């Protein structure tokens, strides 16, 4: 059954559900197929994105997240401009190729202005070389455009779950937390010209395997360029913690995440897929395992050490005690062990994005008389 599904060109929700449920030899077959496609499409290259967790101030109250507005147990911080620039310099000096500026979600003019200024400064100190991905939540089209014009070229906005009803159970019911709006933002990002990424959490309370299959089809339908998906890790100071006994065990959550990445690589062969940090919470060599199976992006943390503990979306976050330098060396060794090689000094755009750009360009040419 699994073998015949793996030979199909278009997978249905039922097919994907079967793949996500696969065990034993079938599971191995799935992972093997994905690794084979990865090898063919992206080879053994791994691209780095230095991750700057700019601020843990967030206006939202997602029930799963440790830095939600109402969690008073976490010290709020915003990194100074100087520290952001220093981290960018570190990424540039060390040939990371690109960085990610991530923060809680704030929709204000002051925040939009601040990010715009930082983008311009990062571009300046890196001689226009560093690529910049933003992950700063839902914003207006105008703000997305301003940030794009200031130098950001990729944007990550996780849909969290493609099932609207499930989304509504995981968020307060108000205008700030609106699934339709979030989807609209993803389309706006694409329209603005960003390489657009989304992602989900795996193993959420109330989530079914069919939901996860739907998540993968959602990504395919949206025709995303990149994806960051990871296991849900319960956090003590969040409302969702009350369901901790109803969750699937951590090991299973990890395995399910691995299968999700495998199926995603199979149905979207040439996109960029990140091995997210949350994987390492469950398995010390989790990210490496995922790289072997299908991921090709790693985001080493380059947030100044003193703040790393406070960006606690989930508990037991790794790499919070290491300096940027230590983390870099550790990562390099890890990737080598996974049989892969870091591709330094490269933006590492997804082939998927490049191909769609080329297609658009040749389409435009056809329109010219």
Q: Which residue has the tokens 């520290």?
A: 83
| Rounded least distance, CB 125 to ligand 5AD, Å | 26
Does residue 100 belong to the site contacting ligand FES (CB under 6 A)? no
Dihedral sign, Cα of residue 209, residue 211, residue 215, residue 218 = positive
Does residue 327 belong to the site contacting ligand FES (CB under 6 A)? yes
| Rounded least distance, CB 2 to ligand SF4, Å | 34
When binding is defined by CB under 6 A, the residue of 224, 313, 327, 342 that contacts ligand 5AD is 313
Helices 286-293, 250-267: axis angle to 10 degrees equals 30
Q: Between β-strands 272-275 and 201-202, what pairing exists: parallel, antiparallel or unpaired?
A: unpaired
Give the nearer residue to ligand 5AD in terms of CB position, either 131 or 230. Answer: 230
Give the nearer residue to ligand FES in terms of CB position, either 48 or 185. Answer: 48
Q: 259-291: buried (b, 16+ CB within 10 Å) or exposed (e) per residue? A: bbbbbbbbbbbbbbbbbbbbbbbbbeebbbbbb
Task: Let me know the angle formed at the C-alpha of 312 by 310 and 314, rounded to the nearest 5 degrees.
Answer: 165
Q: Between β-strands 131-135 and 154-156, what pairing exists: parallel, antiparallel or unpaired?
A: parallel
Give the nearer residue to ligand SF4 in terms of CB position, either 237 or 252. Answer: 237
Q: Which of 223, 227, 237 is nearest to 202 (CA)?
A: 227
Residue 33 binding target from ligand SF4, ligand 5AD, ligand FES, none, CB below 5 to 8 Å by type: none
DSSP assignments along 336-351, one per residue: HHTT-EE-TT-----H
Cα–Cα distance for residue pair 241/68, rounded to 1 Å: 13
Cα–Cα distance for residue pair 164/265, rounded to 1 Å: 24
Does residue 65 belong to the site contacting ligand 5AD (CB under 6 A)? yes
Report CA Rg, the chain: 20
| Rounded least distance, CB 268 to ligand 5AD, Å | 19
Does residue 84 belong to the site contacting ligand FES (CB under 6 A)? no
Report the site for ligand SF4 in 308-367 (rule: CB under 6 A): none
The pattern of x and - marking residues 214 through 243 that bind ligand 5AD according to CB under 6 A reads: ----------------x-xx-x--------
When binding is defined by CB under 6 A, the residue of 50, 104, 151, 286 that contacts ligand SF4 is 104
The pattern of x and - marking residues 148 through 187 that bind ligand 5AD according to CB under 6 A reads: ----------x-x---------------------------
| Rounded least distance, CB 243 to ligand SF4, Å | 17
- Judged by the rule CB under 6 A, the positions of this chain that interact with ligand 5AD are 64-65, 158, 160, 201, 230, 232-233, 235, 278, 313-314
């Amino acid at each position: 059954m699994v073998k015949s599904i793996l030979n199909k060109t278009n997978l249905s929700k039922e097919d994907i559900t079967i793949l996500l449920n696969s065990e034993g030899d079938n599971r191995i077959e799935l992972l093997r197929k994905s690794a084979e496609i990865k090898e063919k499409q992206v080879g053994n290259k791994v691209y780095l994105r230095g991750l700057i967790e700019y601020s843990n101030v967030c206006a939202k109250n997602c029930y799963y997240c440790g830095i939600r507005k109402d969690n008073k147990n976490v010290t709020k911080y915003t990194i100074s401009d100087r520290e952001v620039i220093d981290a960018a310099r570190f990424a540039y000096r060390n040939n990371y190729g690109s960085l990610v500026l991530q923060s809680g979600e704030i929709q204000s003019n002051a925040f939009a202005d601040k990010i715009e200024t930082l983008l311009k400064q990062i571009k300046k100190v890196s001689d226009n070389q560093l690529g910049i991905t933003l992950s700063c939540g839902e914003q207006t089209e105008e703000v997305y455009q301003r940030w794009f014009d200031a130098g950001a070229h990729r944007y990550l906005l996780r849909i969290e779950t493609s099932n609207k009803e499930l989304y509504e159970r995981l968020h307060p019911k108000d205008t700030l937390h609106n699934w339709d709006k979030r989807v609209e933002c993803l389309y706006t990002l694409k329209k603005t010209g960003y390489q657009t990424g989304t992602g989900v959490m795996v193993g959420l309370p109330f989530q079914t395997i069919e939901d996860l299959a739907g998540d993968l089809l959602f990504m395919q339908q949206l025709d995303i360029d990149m994806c960051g998906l990871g296991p849900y890790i319960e956090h003590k100071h969040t409302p969702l913690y009350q369901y901790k006994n109803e969750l699937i065990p951590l090991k299973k959550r990890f395995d399910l995440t691995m299968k999700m990445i495998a199926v995603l690589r199979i149905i979207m062969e040439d996109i960029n897929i990140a091995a997210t940090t949350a994987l390492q919470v469950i398995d010390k060599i989790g990210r490496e395992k995922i790289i072997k199976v299908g991921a090709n992006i790693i985001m080493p943390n380059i947030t100044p050490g003193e703040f790393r503990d406070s960006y606690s979306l989930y508990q037991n976050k790794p790499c919070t005690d290491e300096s940027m330098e230590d983390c870099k060396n550790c990562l390099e060794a890890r990737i080598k062990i996974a049989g892969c090689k870091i591709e330094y000094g490269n933006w590492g755009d997804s082939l998927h994005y490049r191909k769609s750009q080329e297609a658009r360009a040749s389409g435009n040419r056809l329109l010219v008389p």
